[in-house]
Amino acid sequence: METDLVNRDPNDLNTYIMVQFEDAIAEPEGAHSINCVWDTSFRCFSCWRDVWYKTFSFCFGVCLAAQWGFEFAWIAVVHVWCVTPWLKATEMNCVIFKRLYGLCVHCCCDPICEASALILNAFRDKQKL
Protein backbone atom coordinates (compact mmCIF):
# COMPACT_ATOMS: atom_id res chain seq x y z
CA MET A 1 0.00 0.00 0.00
CA GLU A 2 1.37 3.37 -1.04
CA THR A 3 1.27 6.45 1.21
CA ASP A 4 -0.84 9.30 -0.17
CA LEU A 5 1.18 12.46 0.48
CA VAL A 6 -1.48 14.76 -1.00
CA ASN A 7 -4.76 13.61 0.59
CA ARG A 8 -3.74 12.72 4.14
CA ASP A 9 -7.29 12.54 5.54
CA PRO A 10 -9.21 10.58 2.87
CA ASN A 11 -11.98 9.59 5.30
CA ASP A 12 -12.42 13.13 6.67
CA LEU A 13 -11.70 12.08 10.25
CA ASN A 14 -10.30 15.42 11.39
CA THR A 15 -12.27 18.05 9.51
CA TYR A 16 -13.39 19.58 12.82
CA ILE A 17 -9.85 20.68 13.76
CA MET A 18 -9.10 22.60 10.57
CA VAL A 19 -8.81 26.03 12.17
CA GLN A 20 -8.10 28.99 9.94
CA PHE A 21 -7.42 32.54 11.08
CA GLU A 22 -11.01 33.56 10.28
CA ASP A 23 -12.36 30.71 12.45
CA ALA A 24 -10.55 31.96 15.56
CA ILE A 25 -10.12 35.69 15.19
CA ALA A 26 -12.69 38.12 13.79
CA GLU A 27 -13.28 41.83 14.12
CA PRO A 28 -16.90 43.00 14.08
CA GLU A 29 -18.07 46.03 12.15
CA GLY A 30 -17.01 49.22 13.84
CA ALA A 31 -13.99 47.65 15.58
CA HIS A 32 -11.36 47.23 12.89
CA SER A 33 -7.64 47.47 13.47
CA ILE A 34 -5.46 49.08 10.83
CA ASN A 35 -4.87 46.92 7.78
CA CYS A 36 -1.18 46.27 8.41
CA VAL A 37 -1.98 44.92 11.91
CA TRP A 38 -4.69 42.66 10.55
CA ASP A 39 -2.47 41.38 7.73
CA THR A 40 0.52 40.83 10.06
CA SER A 41 -1.70 39.06 12.59
CA PHE A 42 -2.93 36.74 9.87
CA ARG A 43 0.61 35.93 8.75
CA CYS A 44 1.83 35.37 12.36
CA PHE A 45 -1.12 33.12 13.21
CA SER A 46 -0.64 30.99 10.08
CA CYS A 47 3.13 30.81 10.44
CA TRP A 48 3.19 29.85 14.12
CA ARG A 49 0.36 27.36 13.74
CA ASP A 50 2.29 25.63 10.97
CA VAL A 51 5.67 25.83 12.75
CA TRP A 52 4.33 24.39 16.01
CA TYR A 53 2.33 21.68 14.31
CA LYS A 54 5.36 20.57 12.30
CA THR A 55 7.60 20.75 15.38
CA PHE A 56 5.25 18.68 17.54
CA SER A 57 4.56 16.16 14.78
CA PHE A 58 8.31 15.83 14.17
CA CYS A 59 9.02 15.25 17.87
CA PHE A 60 6.08 12.99 18.70
CA GLY A 61 4.53 11.75 15.46
CA VAL A 62 6.58 8.58 14.93
CA CYS A 63 6.40 7.52 18.59
CA LEU A 64 2.65 8.13 18.76
CA ALA A 65 2.10 6.31 15.46
CA ALA A 66 4.00 3.32 16.87
CA GLN A 67 1.96 3.45 20.08
CA TRP A 68 -1.36 3.63 18.18
CA GLY A 69 -0.24 0.83 15.85
CA PHE A 70 0.45 -1.32 18.93
CA GLU A 71 -2.90 -0.34 20.47
CA PHE A 72 -4.94 -1.26 17.40
CA ALA A 73 -2.97 -4.49 16.91
CA TRP A 74 -3.66 -5.43 20.54
CA ILE A 75 -7.36 -4.66 20.16
CA ALA A 76 -7.49 -6.83 17.02
CA VAL A 77 -5.75 -9.73 18.80
CA VAL A 78 -8.08 -9.49 21.81
CA HIS A 79 -11.17 -9.41 19.58
CA VAL A 80 -10.03 -12.26 17.34
CA TRP A 81 -8.81 -14.56 20.11
CA CYS A 82 -10.96 -13.59 23.12
CA VAL A 83 -14.02 -11.43 22.52
CA THR A 84 -15.48 -13.08 19.41
CA PRO A 85 -15.07 -16.68 20.66
CA TRP A 86 -16.52 -15.69 24.05
CA LEU A 87 -19.51 -14.04 22.38
CA LYS A 88 -20.06 -17.11 20.18
CA ALA A 89 -19.89 -19.45 23.21
CA THR A 90 -22.29 -17.20 25.14
CA GLU A 91 -24.66 -17.11 22.17
CA MET A 92 -24.59 -20.92 21.96
CA ASN A 93 -25.32 -21.24 25.68
CA CYS A 94 -28.10 -18.66 25.58
CA VAL A 95 -30.05 -20.81 23.12
CA ILE A 96 -30.91 -23.10 26.04
CA PHE A 97 -32.23 -20.20 28.11
CA LYS A 98 -34.12 -18.83 25.12
CA ARG A 99 -35.92 -22.15 24.63
CA LEU A 100 -36.61 -22.49 28.37
CA TYR A 101 -37.96 -18.94 28.53
CA GLY A 102 -40.12 -19.58 25.47
CA LEU A 103 -41.58 -22.71 27.07
CA CYS A 104 -42.36 -20.88 30.30
CA VAL A 105 -44.00 -17.98 28.47
CA HIS A 106 -46.08 -20.30 26.31
CA CYS A 107 -47.10 -22.45 29.29
CA CYS A 108 -48.05 -19.49 31.51
CA CYS A 109 -49.16 -16.76 29.13
CA ASP A 110 -50.85 -18.67 26.30
CA PRO A 111 -53.74 -19.97 28.45
CA ILE A 112 -54.33 -16.51 29.94
CA CYS A 113 -54.23 -14.84 26.51
CA GLU A 114 -56.52 -17.45 24.96
CA ALA A 115 -59.02 -17.14 27.81
CA SER A 116 -58.95 -13.35 27.58
CA ALA A 117 -59.45 -13.54 23.84
CA LEU A 118 -62.48 -15.82 24.27
CA ILE A 119 -64.01 -13.49 26.88
CA LEU A 120 -63.44 -10.38 24.76
CA ASN A 121 -64.71 -12.18 21.69
CA ALA A 122 -67.92 -13.04 23.58
CA PHE A 123 -68.39 -9.32 24.39
CA ARG A 124 -67.81 -8.43 20.77
CA ASP A 125 -70.37 -11.00 19.60
CA LYS A 126 -72.98 -9.61 22.04
CA GLN A 127 -72.39 -6.07 20.76
CA LYS A 128 -73.15 -7.21 17.20
CA LEU A 129 -76.60 -8.44 18.28
Q: Side chain identity at 62, as an amino acid letter?
A: V
Question: pLDDT tens for residues 73-126?
Answer: 999 999 999 999 999 999 999 999 999 999 999 999 999 999 999 888 887 767
Distance in angstroms (rounded) separating the CA atoms of residues 79 and 84:
6
Domain count, the chain: 1
Structural domain contains residue 6: no
Domain that holds residue 52: 15-128
96-114 core/surface letters (b: 16 or more CB in 10 A; e: else)? eeeeeeeeeeeeeeeeeee
Structural domain contains residue 8: no
Distance in angstroms (rounded) separating the CA atoms of residues 49 and 52:
5
Structural domain contains residue 7: no
pTM: 0.59
* CA count, 13 A, side-chain hemisphere, 118: 5
